[in-house]
Chain A
Amino acid sequence: MNKNKIKRSLGERTFTVVNTTLIILVCFTCLFPFIYELAISFSSGAAVMSGKVSLYPIGFQTEAYKKVFQNISMWRSLVFTIVLTVVYTLLSLTLTILCAYPLSRKRLYGGKWIMMLITVTMYFHAGTIPTYLLVYNLGLIDKVWALILPCVLNTFNMIMMRTFFKSVPAELEEAAMIDGCNDFQVLWNVMLPVSKPILATIALFYAVQRWNSFADALYYINEPKLYPLQLKLQQIIQQGQADNMMSDINSQLDVVVPKTVQAASIIFATVPILLVYPKLQKYFVKGAMIGAVKG
C-alpha cells in the first residue's frame, strides 16, 4: 500500500514536470518571434544579412528605429488608425445597440422576420467584387467611410448583445415603464448601465477588428494619406523584400538594411497592441466564453 503511494506520487511528479515543461516550450514559441524581431531591429545590417542574429542583437545600433521614427508617414498612419478605430468603434457600438435592443423585445411586431433576414447575411455573402462595386458606385473609394460603413455592424456581435439584453430581467424594464420611461429612456437608463461589461467586450471586438484589418484598405484605398497602419506596414514589408534582393550583395557593410527597418517597423506596429493587451485579453476571453456557451 505504502509502496504503491510512493510510486504513484513519483509518476505524478514526472507528469507535472513534463506537462509544465511542454507548456513553457509552447509559450516560448509564442514569444520568441518578438524576441527575435527585437534582436534583428537592434542588430547591424552586416550581422543580419549574414544570418548571425539569434535571440540577442549583434553589432548594436538604433539607426533602424531612428529611420522609422523619422518617417512622418508612419506617425501619420498611426494617428489616422487611432482616430479611425475610435470613430469606427463608437459608431459600430451605437448601431449594434440600436439593432440588438428592439430585436431582443418579444413584443416587437415582425421582429422574427427581421432577425431571419439578418441571419441570412451570415450564411450567404455576395463576395468581394460585388461589395467592391457597391463601394465604388457609392463614391466611397479613397474615402475614410469605405473603411467604416461596409463593416459597421457585425452580426455575431449584434446577436451576442441581443442575447444579453434578452437575459436582463423583464421586471427592470416594466418598473421603468411604470415610472413613465419611453423605450429610448429604458434603453439608456436601464439596459445600458447593466450591460457595461458586455459593451466593453463588444467595443473591444470592434476596435481590434478595425485595428488589425488591412484587406478592405487594400481594396478601397489608393491614397497613401488614408493608409491604416497595417497597410502601411504591409507595404514596408513588401518593399523591404524587394530591396533585400537587390541589396544582398552590396549592403553587407551598411549599418541599416531593409530587414532591420522592417523589424523596427513591425515592433513599432506591435507595441500599441501590447500596451493594451492585458485589459484586452480579459474582456476578449469573456466574450469567447459567451460565444462558447452559445455554441
Chain B
Amino acid sequence: MNTQTKVRHRKKISIRKALSRDWQLYVMLILPIAFYIIFMYGPMYGVIIAFKDYNIFAGIAKSEWVGFDVFREIFKMPEFYRALRNTLTLNLLGLILGFPAPILLAVMLNEVRNSAFKRVSQSILYLPHFLSWVIIGGLATQIFAPQGIINYIIKSFGGGEVQFLSNKPLWIAVYQIVGIWHGMGWNAIIYLAAITGISGDIYEAAELDGCSRVKMIYKITIPSIMPTIVIMLVINLGKIISIAFDPPYVLGNSLVEDVSDVISTFVYRVGLKSADYSTATAVGLFQSIVSTVLIIVSNIVAKALGEEGLW
C-alpha cells in the first residue's frame, strides 16, 4: 500500500505500469469511449458528404467527390439565406426581449419577504421549463387561434379577430412571447443564485442610511449581479446562430414559413423530407463551424472578463 501511494504521487509513470495498476478504470471507460467514438466522432466522418454528391446506394465512402460545389450551390439558394436571416432575427429578438425578463423576475422574487409565497411562486414559474415543446406548441396554437382566448379577450373589448398565427409579424411576436414564457422562470435561477451571494450587511448599511428598496435594487442588487449578467449575455451571443429544432417546428406553419423557417427546420426539410443529404449536411456544417467559432470566442471573452466560462 505504501508503494502505491508513493507511485500515485510520482508524476510520470510508464503506460504499462498505469495499465497494470488502473486497468479496472480503463475497463469502466470502454463503453463510454465506444459511445463517443461511434455516436459523436462517427457522424464527423459523415460530414464529408458535404463535399460529395451523396448517393445513398453507393454509401458515404463511394460517393463522388465534388469539392465545394455543394457550398457554391447553397450560397446561391434564396431559401438558405432566408433560413439564416430568420435564425438570426428570432435569436436576436429573443435576446433583446427575453434576456432581461429572468433578471427582472429574479430581482422581484428576491424582494419577496414571505418565504411560503416565494416558494410557491417559484414552483409555478419553473413549470413551463418541464413541458415538452409539443405540449407548449399545442397550448400556444389553441390560445392564439382565431377562436382562442386572446381573441376572446380582444373581442370582448370590441376589437376584431386577429390572425396571430398566420400574420408574419404577429407570428414572430407569438414566438417571442412563448419563448419568454418558457424560459423566464427557469433562467431566473442563475440570477437568484448570484443574488444570494450578496452580503446582507450591504443592505443593512443602506437601510440605515435611509435608502429606499427601489434604490437598493439599482444601487446594490443589479451592480452586484452584473458579472453574471455580462457572462450570460456573452454566452447567449455565442449561441446566436444555433437554434433548436423543436420551438420553430411546433409553432410554425406553412403560412408563415417566410419568417419561421430557420436553419434547423430547413436542414430537416431538405435533408430528411426531400432526401437531399449533401445540401442539408453542407448547411449543417456551415452552421456548426460558425457556431463553434462563436462559442469559442464568447468563452474567451467570458474568461477575459474574469469568469470561469464553459471550460
Contacts and interface: CB of A to CB of B under 8 A. Distances in A.
Contacts of A214: 132-134, 246
Contact of A33 (B121, B143, B249): B143
A211 B193 CA distance: 28
A42 to B, nearest CB: 14
Interface in B135-179: 135, 137-143, 146-149, 151-153, 155
Contact of A127 (B25, B111, B212, B284): B284
Q: What bracket does the count of chain A residues touching chain B fall in?
A: 35 or more
Given A109-B18, A266-B139, A292-B193, A230 B134 contact: yes
B contacts with A: majority SS? helix
Contact of B152 (A29, A49, A53, A105): A53
Contact of A263 (B29, B132, B142, B185): B142
A153 B35 contact: yes
B226 interface: no
B22 A12 contact: no
Contacts of A259: 142, 147
Contacts of B38: 134
Interface in B44-90: 44-47, 49, 59-60
A3 B147 CA distance: 55
A15 B49 contact: no
Contact of B42 (A23, A52, A134): A134
Contacts of B190: 288, 291-292
A54 B154 CA distance: 12
A95 B39 CA distance: 14
Interface string B103-142: 0010011011100010001011111101111110111111
Main secondary structure, interface of A, reads helix
Contacts of A265: 138
B131 A270 contact: yes
B30 to A, nearest CB: 8
A284 interface: yes
A208 B130 contact: yes
A212 B132 contact: yes
B113 A109 contact: no
Given A20-B117, A132-B272, A182 B24 contact: yes
Nearest to B278: A129
Given A234-B250, A295-B310, A212 B39 contact: no
B111 A129 contact: no
Interface stretch (A63-71, A72-80, A112-120): A112-120
A211 B267 contact: no
Nearest to A98: B28
Nearest to A91: B31
B32 A130 contact: no
A23 to B, nearest CB: 5
A40 interface: yes
A267 to B, nearest CB: 9
Contact of A152 (B35, B49, B134): B35
A153 B36 contact: yes
B146 A98 contact: no
Contact of A153 (B21, B24, B32, B309): B32
A241 interface: yes
Interface string A256-288: 000100110110011001000110110011001
A102 B25 contact: yes
A51 B284 contact: no
A213 interface: yes
B41 A121 contact: yes
A150 interface: yes
The 6 closest A-B pairs by CB, nearest first: A127-B284, A130-B46, A99-B32, A126-B43, A109-B18, A51-B147
13 contacts: A12-B213, A22-B108, A52-B152, A101-B25, A102-B25, A118-B36, A122-B310, A124-B288, A128-B271, A131-B46, A211-B132, A215-B245, A277-B130
Given A12-B212, A259-B147, 18 more contacts: A11-B213, A19-B112, A22-B108, A26-B125, A27-B121, A34-B139, A102-B29, A108-B25, A128-B280, A129-B280, A130-B44, A153-B35, A212-B130, A241-B141, A266-B138, A269-B132, A270-B135, A295-B302
Interface of B: 1, 4-5, 8, 13, 15, 18-19, 21-22, 24-26, 28-29, 31-33, 35-36, 38-47, 49, 59-60, 105, 108-109, 111-113, 117, 121, 123-128, 130-135, 137-143, 146-149, 151-153, 155, 181, 184-186, 189-190, 193-194, 210, 212-214, 231, 245-246, 249-250, 253, 264, 267-268, 271-272, 277, 280-281, 284-285, 287-288, 292, 295-296, 302, 307-311
